[in-house]
Amino acid sequence: MSDWKAGSDARLPLYQRLREEIMDRIASGEWPPGEPIPTESELTRRYNIAVGTVRRAIDTLVNEGLLERSQGRGTFVRRPDFDASFFRFFRQVNAEGEASVPDSRILSASLQTPPPVASKALGLAHDASCICLERLRTLEDGSLLTEKIWLPAARFSGLLKVPLEEFDNLLYPFYEARFGQRIGSARETLTIASADAITSDTLGIALNDPVVVIERTALGYDQTPLEYRCSMGAAATFRYQIEIS
The pLDDT of residue 88 is 54
Is there a contact between 211 and 145 (Cβ–Cβ < 8 Å)?
A: no
Average confidence (pLDDT) over 66-78: 91
The pLDDT of residue 140 is 75
Q: Could you tell me which of 79, 220, 66 has the C-alpha nearest to residue 151? A: 220
What is the CATH code of the structural domain delimited by 14-77? 1.10.10.10
Please state at what angle helix 51-63 crosses helix 40-47, rounded to 10 degrees: 120
- Measured between alpha carbons, how far is residue 100 from residues 46, 184, 225, 232 in Å? 46, 25, 30, 19
What is the CATH code of the structural domain delimited by 82-237? 3.40.1410.10
The pLDDT of residue 92 is 53
Alpha carbon distance 237, 212 (integer Å):
9
Between strands 142-152 and 183-194, the pairing is unpaired
- pLDDT of 66 strictly over 80: yes
Helix (H) or strand (E) holding 25: helix 14-27
Chain segment 119-141, per-residue pLDDT in tens = 999 999 988 999 999 999 987 77
Helix (H) or strand (E) holding 15: helix 14-27
Alpha carbon distance 48, 181 (integer Å):
31
Name the pLDDT band for 10 (thresholds 50, 70, 90): confident
Q: Could you tell me which of 10, 21, 27 has the C-alpha nearest to residue 46? A: 21
Alpha carbon distance 88, 85 (integer Å):
6
Instruction: Give the three-state DSSP class for 131.
Output: strand
Q: Which residues pair with 231 in a beta bridge?
A: 147, 214
The answer to pTM > 0.85 is no
* 129 C-beta neighbours (distance < 10 Å), count: 14
Chain segment 91-111, per-residue pLDDT in tens = 554 555 555 667 899 999 999
Q: Which residue intervals of the chain bear CATH 1.10.10.10?
A: 14-77
Residues in the chain: 245
Q: Which residue intervals of the chain bear CATH 3.40.1410.10?
A: 82-237
Average pLDDT over the chain reads 87
Helix (H) or strand (E) holding 82: helix 82-86
